[in-house]
Amino acid sequence: MNVRNYCKLEIMSLPENVSFARACVGAFASQLGCTLEEIDEIKLVVSEAVSNSIIHAYENRGTELITIVVSLLDGRTLEIIVEDYGKGIEDVARVLQPSYSSEPSRMGLGFSFMKSFMDELEVISRPGEGTSVQMRRSFVSKDNEAYA
């Protein structure tokens, strides 16, 4: 697929940067003429992926780097990649199970939301090296709806 437009964002692993990442990716995705509901879904999956990096990969150390790459591909496909360079995931299949959480105080719904709102989800991780969450969603033009 050809890249029609592209944006790369690097943020520190601070909780206050989650809303910034959401806003940036939401604004970028609005080029597709998405509905407000679709933009909210995109913002939610970005929020979940970035929060996972902060909480799990970096254990709330706010001095680390998270990279977010968002691309508009041929047609009307949005690709979002969220990468961290943290501790990685030992068993990716396990963390992708609904309601799985490594911490009992958490609900473990982040990847479930990502699967629900995106057409494709791939998680690539190497223990000790980091994790890449790659998501794609295609959008179809809709008539008579509110657009962002």
Please, what are the averages of pLDDT over each run of 10 residues along the chain (148 residues)? 94 98 97 95 96 93 97 94 95 75 61 89 95 94 53
Which residues lie closer than 8 Å to 23 by C-beta, 6 or more apart?
43
Beta bridge partners of 127: none
Which residues lie closer than 8 Å to 95 by C-beta, 6 or more apart?
89, 102, 111, 123
Taking residue 124's Cβ as centre, other Cβ atoms within 10 Å add up to: 14
Of 17, 22, 38, 52, the catalytic one is 52
Question: Is 52 known to be catalytic?
Answer: yes
Question: Is 61 known to be catalytic?
Answer: no
Per domain, the residue ranges of the chain are 3-138
pLDDT of residue 144: 45
Cα 9 from Cα 148, distance rounded (Å) = 21
- Cα 111 to the chain's mean position, in Å? 9
Taking residue 41's Cβ as centre, other Cβ atoms within 10 Å add up to: 20
pLDDT of residue 90: 87
CATH architecture of the domain with residue range 3-138: 2-Layer Sandwich (3.30)
Of 4, 76, 106, 136, the catalytic one is 106
pTM of this prediction?
Answer: 0.87
Of 22, 38, 41, 48, the catalytic one is 48
